[in-house]
């Protein structure tokens, strides 16, 4: 078994469940911290474990460019490379190719793009994106899709959705033919050689007969009918889980919610549903209550680097002078190691002094807040209570 999903409780549209992957059992709904280049920026892996992160996300586009898939594969895949025992999900690279590349060229075959690091030219197709993700060896990988821009006219949204559907079929075909090439399935040499000491490092092997799981992605822009059609076509191809992509691309939040809610109606109730790239603490509560099982977002980590902290009493911009002599904790209701130890005055000082510890502590707190938020949502769904978004 490479993946299985059990729903434990439901309340309205929301549900709690457990997602079993080769490396970890994940309680859903789950928030997945983003570790773009195999690091959740500023946070050591043992701290992520303490925070209760059960699954993290890696970005295929970035990892493909640096350190490169072959290096990660040689080190045993992402799990061995970054010494992370729990689950990992990689995106397909599609979103970053579209968002970071103004000079990309899209054809039926795939996308030609330039590296944001050195300008070198590269090509992603459904097949090469699968090859990359198999080499990276995450537990869950994503079909290669085209993220439709916003706004897009009806013809463009349809054409884009249809190409995503064709790419989904190609993604699945390549994956099925190559899924046994996952690094953890490659025998004794799989987790890195080149050093006699490597055997001591990080024993990670899951069931060697297990493979990755490929999820499909629903596109269709902001058109409910197209979304429905995209869902139906993606389900027809058949995946163990489905994502809603192409949102949080500039549209108003009300529209995001409307599309999420209507798209969810067309996704199988007994399979995991992943909403990509959202959101604020309020939004992740809202979407979890609508029946989304998995979410990821750079917001908690990116905001932390800009001194924007999420608390039970709202957002705190820690750079403000009003906190310069504030001896209280950042969030009196938070049990994280930052709030248990440091004052707002100290966090403000670290930020104002441009100390690296500011990013470290701010990120730990924000992730703790997000993960706690999801814990509360799971708890309230399992109790049948309404969970409020602050």
Residue 343 Cβ, how far from a copy of itself at the closest point, in Å? 6
The distance of closest approach from Cβ of residue 25 to a copy of itself in the complex, given in angstroms and rounded to an integer, is 22
Which residues does residue 295 pair with via DSSP β-bridges, in sequence order? 31, 275
Is the CB of residue 274 less than 8 Å from the CB of residue 294? yes
Residues 172-191 interacting with a copy of itself (rule: CB under 8 A): 191
Of the two residues 90 and 271, which places its CB atom closer to a copy of itself in the complex?
90
Which residue in 91, 223, 331, 372 is the catalytic one?
A: 91
Phi, psi of 13 (to 5 degrees): -85, -20
Q: Does 120 bind a copy of itself (CB under 8 A)?
A: no
Write the binding mask 78 to 117 for a copy of itself: x where contact by CB under 8 A, - elsewhere.
--xxxx----------------------------------
Q: Are 345 and 324 in contact (CB under 8 A)?
A: yes
Binding residues for a copy of itself, rule CB under 8 A, total 54
Candidate list 19, 30, 32, 38; residue touching a copy of itself; CB under 8 A: 38
207 included as an active-site residue: no
Residue 8 annotated to the active site = no
Residue 11 contacts residue 381 (beta carbons within 8 Å) = yes
Per-residue exposure over 82-93, b if at least 16 CB sit within 10 Å of its own CB, e if not = bbbebbbbbbbb
Note whether 118 binds a copy of itself by CB under 8 A.
no
**Orientation of helix 281-290 relative to helix 253-264, angle to 10°:** 20
What does the block give as tokens for 152?
């897009």
Q: How far apart are CA 275 and CA 295, in angstroms?
A: 5
Report residue 180: phi and psi, to 5°: -75, -5
- Of 26 and 304, nearer to a copy of itself (C-beta) is 304
Residues 283-342 interacting with a copy of itself (rule: CB under 8 A): 324-329, 332, 337, 341-342
Q: Where are the alpha helices (DSSP H) in 39-189?
A: 45-51, 60-65, 69-74, 77-82, 94-100, 126-136, 154-178
Residue from the set 46, 153, 254, 270 that interacts with a copy of itself by CB under 8 A: 46
Exactly one of 359, 366, 380, 387 binds a copy of itself (CB under 8 A); that residue is: 359
Q: Using CB under 8 A, which of 29, 42, 183, 307 touches a copy of itself? A: 42
Q: Which of 13, 18, 24, 41 binds a copy of itself (CB under 8 A)?
A: 41
Q: Is 195 in the site for a copy of itself (CB under 8 A)?
A: yes
Minimum separation from the CB atom of position 49 to a copy of itself (A): 11
8 token code pair: 């434990």
CB of 362 to a copy of itself, least distance (A): 11
Q: Which of residues 215-244 bind a copy of itself (CB under 8 A)?
A: none
* Residue 215: closest CA among 325, 316, 299, 90: 90
Evaluate the omega torsion of the peptide bond into residue 366 and state whether it is cis, within 30 degrees of 0. no
Q: How far apart are CA 17 and CA 190, in angstroms?
A: 32
Q: Which of 207, 355, 385, 386 binds a copy of itself (CB under 8 A)?
A: 355
Residues 6+ apart with CB under 8 A from 379: none
**Per annotation, catalytic residue among 139, 145, 223, 296:** 296
Please give the structure tokens belonging to residue 201.
């490092």
User: By the criterion CB under 8 A, which residues form the site for a copy of itself?
Assistant: 37-39, 41-46, 66-67, 71, 74-76, 80-83, 191-198, 200-202, 324-329, 332, 337, 341-346, 349-350, 352-353, 355-357, 359-361
Residues with a catalytic annotation lie at 91, 296
């Amino acid at each position: 078994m490479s993946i299985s999903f059990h729903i434990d409780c439901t309340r309205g549209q929301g549900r709690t469940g457990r997602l079993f992957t080769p490396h970890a059992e994940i309680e859903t709904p789950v928030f997945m911290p983003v570790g773009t280049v195999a690091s959740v920026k500023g946070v050591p892996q043992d701290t992520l474990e303490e925070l209760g992160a059960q699954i993290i996300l890696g970005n295929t586009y970035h990892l493909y460019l640096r350190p490169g898939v072959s290096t990660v594969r040689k080190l045993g895949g992402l799990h061995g490379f970054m010494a992370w025992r729990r689950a990992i999900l990689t995106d397909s690279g599609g979103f970053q190719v579209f968002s970071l590349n103004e000079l990309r060229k899209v054809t039926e075959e795939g996308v030609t793009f330039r590296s944001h690091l050195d300008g070198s030219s590269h090509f992603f197709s459904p097949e090469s994106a699968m090859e990359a993700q198999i080499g990276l060896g995450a537990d869950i990988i994503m079909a290669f899709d085209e993220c439709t821009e916003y706004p897009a006219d009806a013809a463009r949204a349809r054409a884009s959705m249809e190409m995503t559907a064709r790419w989904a079929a190609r993604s699945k075909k390549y994956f099925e033919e190559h899924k046994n090439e996952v690094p953890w399935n490659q025998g004794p040499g799989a987790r890195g050689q080149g050093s006699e000491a490597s055997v001591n490092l990080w024993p990670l092997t899951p069931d060697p007969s297990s493979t990755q799981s490929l999820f499909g992605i629903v596109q269709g822009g902001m058109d409910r009918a197209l979304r429905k059609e995209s869902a139906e076509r993606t389900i027809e191809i058949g995946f163990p889980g489905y994502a809603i992509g192409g949102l949080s691309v500039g549209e108003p939040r009300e529209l995001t919610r409307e599309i999420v809610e209507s798209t969810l109606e067309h996704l199988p109730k007994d399979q995991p549903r992943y909403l990509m790239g959202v959101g604020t603490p309020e939004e992740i509560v809202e979407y979890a209550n609508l029946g989304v099982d998995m979410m990821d977002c750079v917001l908690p980590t990116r905001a932390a680097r800009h001194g924007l902290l999420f608390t039970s009493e709202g957002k705190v911009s820690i750079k403000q002078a009003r906190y310069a002599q504030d001896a209280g904790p950042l969030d009196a209701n938070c049990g994280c190691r930052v709030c248990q130890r440091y004052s707002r005055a100290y966090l403000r000082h670290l930020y104002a002094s441009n100390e690296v510890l500011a990013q470290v502590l701010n990120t730990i707190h924000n992730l703790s807040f997000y993960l706690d938020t999801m814990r509360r949502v799971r708890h309230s769904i399992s109790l049948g209570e309404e969970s409020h978004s602050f």
